[in-house]
Structure 1
Amino acid sequence: MADTRIKYGPLIGSIDEGTSSTRFLVFASKTAEVLTYHQLPIPSIVPKEGWFEQDPMMILEAVKETIDVTCDNLIKLNINYEDIVAIGITNQRETTILWDPTTGKPLYNAIVWMDVRTSSTVDDILENGKHPQDFLQCLCGLPVSTYFSALKIRWLMDNVQGVKEAIEQGRCLFGNVDTWLVWNLTGGVQGGLHITDVTNASRTMLMNIDTLKWDPNLCKVFNIPMNILPQIRSSSEIYGYIFDVTKLSGVPIAGILGDQQAALVGQMSFEMGQAKSTYGTGCFILYNTGTLTVRSTHGLLTTVAYQLGPDKKAVYALEGSVAIAGISIKWLRDNLNVLNDVSESAEMAQAANEHGEVYFVPAFSGLYAPYWRKDARSVICGLTEETKPGHLVKAALEAVCFQVRDVLEAMTLDCGHPLTKLLVDGGMTVNDYLMQMQADYCGIPVVRPMMAETTSLGAAIAAGNAKGVEVWDIESMEAVPCDTFVPVIKEDARDVKYSRWKMAIKRSLGWVEDDNSKAGLDLPRLVEGAEQMISGSRIAKAFPAGMYLIGTAAMLMASEILKGP
């Protein structure tokens, strides 16, 4: 095989384990371009409404397969896969796995980040102010929410007999997806490393955001034994080497970043005050606050952005998490048959005229930042006889933009400095119409890299930057070329639309009292809310006597929304 190092330089591999798929990509160190990759879907298991699980063994086997197939792809390109000098990992965050280190088998399915079964656990933690929200957030930077790993661990301990027994017998390990993969890829039951990095640890509610260590007080609040927790390491160092489980045996794993932090690194957002938004299943906005831990008073999270070496200071970020972004378009396709393919969304939205304007709040599992309302549920406001499928698609795309603006407004209030531009990445950014709408509704330029794989690139940068690898120097790396979308609508038009969005948000609140049961629904309030949603419509004006029937129909539609994706 020809020596390709002269052309490409040493190669860096990147495991990108996301919510819906797993990929392995290979980057050329000379150009930071993707040479090849392989991708496999990861299905979700939904045993109950609001429950989202995945099979940890399927995730692991998919990672191994994508590595080996990508190596085969390199051979076909006449590139030697032995030129891969390091591997980085980026992963869906908060997704929680407990396993038995003596057998290597999971004790339960992975509970995915968006799962809301821990709603009652949240209530127990906050009951009667026993553990004040502000006190806990001061320690870990996070609000008490179903989102984070500690609540998922607590639920497993309380509800799965096998987990209880394993913990009592000292044969239980915890990890998010990064930890599970590293443990298995470095040997598993034969001495696998039980580690995580600071970015993933900062999403558990168990790490002290200032000391970057597991906090005994937080572990006590959740009654989680510290001996099940992995060792916390930096985001960029050689942790260990691939065991004999793939074609890349002996290659070092040298970088770990949670997926949103990896996107920040991949966007080269190393300066304080830079921010990026990633558009995928959900939508996540990170604002680099440098070495300062900014405590949000406006509904945002304080998180670790990265620590690029054990001898380097951690860099922090404010984060706003939007639970539902791309998944709302898939919901319109799969549940309502509004469109045949997500690729049609831009064309359908553009074809929808301004008459019959619709607002859609996609709160399938409640609202995340900056509201943090688990009692919220999806509503569609403004339906008239002129409403067409395109209006619903447009409303779903607009909802993504409005939710991003919600977060940016909160960031401005917390930091005192409005953003001058927003860096974007993720699957949805291929939609030019969405990107222009984002610029219009936020009133700032939206900058999109022409190279779409910024999350995977971030993990590769962390690995390539590690001491002992050092094929990249982040201080000399150039940002990838970008497209820029500039606002074109007037400020008053922008503010009118945003005020209507806020009205729709208000109508989405207080729909359920118990996330785990429909028995908690207040039917009279549902009917009242449904009537309010359409009280200004032409249908209501034309048929005032039918208001109750209309309200009931809207209530039934809302019940379908509650079933989730």
Structure 2
Amino acid sequence: MNGEEVVLSLDEGTTGATAIAVGIDGEVRGKGYEEIAQHYPRPGWVEHDATDIWSAVQTSVRQALDAAGAKPSDVRAVGITNQRETLVLWDKETMQPISRAIVWQDRRTADECTRLRAAGHEHRVREITGLVLDPYFTATKYAWALKHIEGAGEAAAGTVDSWLIARLSSGRDHVTDASNASRTLLFAISSGEWSDEMAELFGVSLRNLPRIADSSGHISTTDPDAFLGIQAPIAGVAGDQQAALFGQACTKDGMAKNTYGTGSFVLMQTGKRRVASGAGMLTTVAWRRAGELSYALEGAIFITGAALQWLRDGLGIIASAGEAGPLAASVPDAGGVFLVPAFVGLGAPHWDPYARGTIVGLTRGSGRAQLVRAAVESMAYQTRDVIDAMERDTGQRLTELRVDGGAAVMDVLCQLQADLLGIPVRRPRQTETTALGAAFLAGLGAGLWTDADLARLWKLDREFEPTLSRDQADALQSRWRQAVERSRSWERPEEALPDNQ
């Protein structure tokens, strides 16, 4: 093999598509990025145009290959990682979406989840799927689509990975991996198959859902006529947070990572153990390799980095997200200001779809820097809430936290995270570990790497040691939790969607 050969990783996120070309030595040779438009047709609704997603993926791939000086024939394997839970519906013949995709952040089915919970279904749903009844997951989105979108009953249905594989293979393959399937509320986490019982509960059919495959191995093959002249095996697929866990080399029981992206997602590897949470965590599939499932506990925080986008786009307080770190670091603290970014409700450990964004503690001395710092600090406070809950569930104390995602470049965030948790926070040299995880899965699946290579592929950039006393950290966290309580149950269910649609 020569240095020109690459593994191509497609990372289709909530705000844009990233592609990286990874050399056989595990180093990133080239990167591309293309933003995708967000659509908010009603309060609480979030949609994407699936055609925009496909276009953005192709654009980012062209950029990555150009930056790497690689040709289509140099691509040895393709990995895919994606925003999870988002529902895409498309015509099986024309390969065109029949409606906009319903994004994971979308809350239009909050009332339906409340109804199912009131009917006593939550325990059984948790038992079968490892998840909770929340609009976040795919099943209630699919049920809504079957009632409200013409042609949904005959359309191919899947998450974003399935949509991309369908396009990459010119419609030949309708497939997903176990990690993405486990996020739908339609997957039996013990057997690793679609659940007839859950399909009946949610009122959906399984016949148009994809086949479930391993996360690493031969999954499909790209059609060069459909995909920029690239013909290569699709050999790695995982939901974005599971891919980040793999990219962080958290393959041993008890290792954990947090990805600071649009939202933040803490995952703790539990190996073959399915840990049932009593503290608002999700039990999820980490990946499936050689037919064997590995599990993880997950805490899903809906809004972290997106709060900085709101400060930029909604309020105009910053011109770019890159300003947030220096501005937050320009003041010693937030001056008593707490920003709870519950713009689409609260995820773990609260699971309150009726919470709404709240800012408390404002004074005349509060300015741009304090507000930006409060937004940055909210990422660390929410992460500690989740990790505290995970430690209660597992009876294990974390010894370190590995961090990644766009906001992990902020030293001020990583230091506060270490201070609040009281453990080292370790940031790798490559913070795009989501895309790297998909590349590693693909490289392993195509036989380019072995498991023994994984540890050497992860490289430390910086370790942040805690500097606050536990009493100081606990006092800050206590004030944060007071602010969270102010945001809870703000919107009444009957006000959320006036026409109940």
Q: TM-score, normalised by structure 1?
A: 0.85
Aligned partners of 2:398 and 2:423: how far apart in 1? 8
The answer to whether 1:151 aligns with 2:140 is yes
Label 1:181 to 1:519 Cα distance change in 2 as closer, same or farther (>3 A): closer
Choose from 175, 179, 199 the match for 1:199. 179
Choose from 126, 142, 145 the match for 2:117. 126
Aligned partners of 2:16 and 2:335: how far apart in 1? 37
Amino acid at match of 1:268: A
2:129 is matched with which residue?
A: 140
2:197 is matched with which residue?
A: 217
Aligned partners of 1:355 and 1:389: how far apart in 2? 10
Choose from 299, 310, 314 the match for 1:335. 314
Moved more, 507-516 or 198-207: 507-516
Choose from 86, 108, 114 the match for 1:117. 108
2:286 is matched with which residue?
A: 305
The answer to whether 1:92 aligns with 2:92 is no
Amino acid at match of 1:35: R
Choose from 344, 363, 375 the match for 2:354. 375
Aligned partners of 1:392 and 1:251: how far apart in 2? 47
Choose from 453, 468, 471 the match for 1:476. 453
Label 1:504 to 1:72 Cα distance change in 2 as closer, same or farther (>3 A): closer
Label 1:253 to 1:488 Cα distance change in 2 as closer, same or farther (>3 A): same
Is the Cα–Cα contact under 8 Å of residues 308 and 465 in structure 1 kept in the other structure?
no
SS of aligned partner of 1:253: strand
1:390 is matched with which residue?
A: 369
2:466 is matched with which residue?
A: 487
Displacement of 1:62 in angstroms is: 2.1
Aligned partners of 2:330 and 2:41: how far apart in 1? 38
Deviations 1:378-408 (A, max 9, x none): 1111122222221111111111101000000
Q: How does 1:404-443 map to 2 (within 5 A)?
A: 404-443=383-422
Aligned partners of 2:333 and 2:99: how far apart in 1? 49
Is the Cα–Cα contact under 8 Å of residues 49 and 516 in structure 1 kept in the other structure?
no
Whichever structure has more helix as a proportion of its residues is 1
Aligned partners of 1:428 and 1:321: how far apart in 2? 16
Aligned partners of 2:268 and 2:58: how far apart in 1? 33
Q: What is the total number of aligned residue pairs between the two structures?
A: 496
Aligned partners of 2:370 and 2:334: how far apart in 1? 9
The answer to whether 1:208 aligns with 2:188 is yes
Is the Cα–Cα contact under 8 Å of residues 117 and 515 in structure 1 kept in the other structure?
no
Is the Cα–Cα contact under 8 Å of residues 11 and 85 in structure 1 kept in the other structure?
yes
The answer to whether 1:50 aligns with 2:30 is no
Question: Unaligned stretches of 5+ in structure 1?
Answer: 521-565
SS of aligned partner of 2:451: coil
Label 1:98 to 1:253 Cα distance change in 2 as closer, same or farther (>3 A): same
Identity %: 39
The answer to whether 1:24 aligns with 2:11 is no
Aligned partners of 1:256 and 1:295: how far apart in 2? 25
Is the Cα–Cα contact under 8 Å of residues 17 and 23 in structure 1 kept in the other structure?
yes
1:278 is matched with which residue?
A: 259
1:174 is matched with which residue?
A: 157
Label 1:324 to 1:99 Cα distance change in 2 as closer, same or farther (>3 A): same
Question: Unaligned stretches of 5+ in structure 2?
Answer: none
Is the Cα–Cα contact under 8 Å of residues 73 and 230 in structure 2 kept in the other structure?
no
Is the Cα–Cα contact under 8 Å of residues 198 and 212 in structure 1 kept in the other structure?
yes
Choose from 250, 253, 263 the match for 1:269. 250
Displacement of 1:515 in angstroms is: 7.5
The list of structure 1 runs, each at least 4 consecutive aligned residues, that deviate by more than 4 angstroms after superposition, is none
Aligned partners of 1:494 and 1:133: how far apart in 2? 34
Q: TM-score, normalised by structure 2?
A: 0.95
Displacement of 1:415 in angstroms is: 0.3
SS of aligned partner of 1:476: helix
Aligned partners of 1:391 and 1:453: how far apart in 2? 28
Larger Rg: 1
Displacement of 1:354 in angstroms is: 5.1
Amino acid at match of 2:150: Q
Is the Cα–Cα contact under 8 Å of residues 50 and 516 in structure 1 kept in the other structure?
no
Is the Cα–Cα contact under 8 Å of residues 308 and 462 in structure 1 kept in the other structure?
no
2:235 is matched with which residue?
A: 254
Moved more, 472-481 or 82-91: 472-481
Is the Cα–Cα contact under 8 Å of residues 98 and 108 in structure 1 kept in the other structure?
yes
Aligned partners of 1:355 and 1:314: how far apart in 2? 43
Displacement of 1:518 in angstroms is: 7.8
Label 1:123 to 1:482 Cα distance change in 2 as closer, same or farther (>3 A): same
2:149 is matched with which residue?
A: 160
Aligned partners of 2:394 and 2:408: how far apart in 1? 26
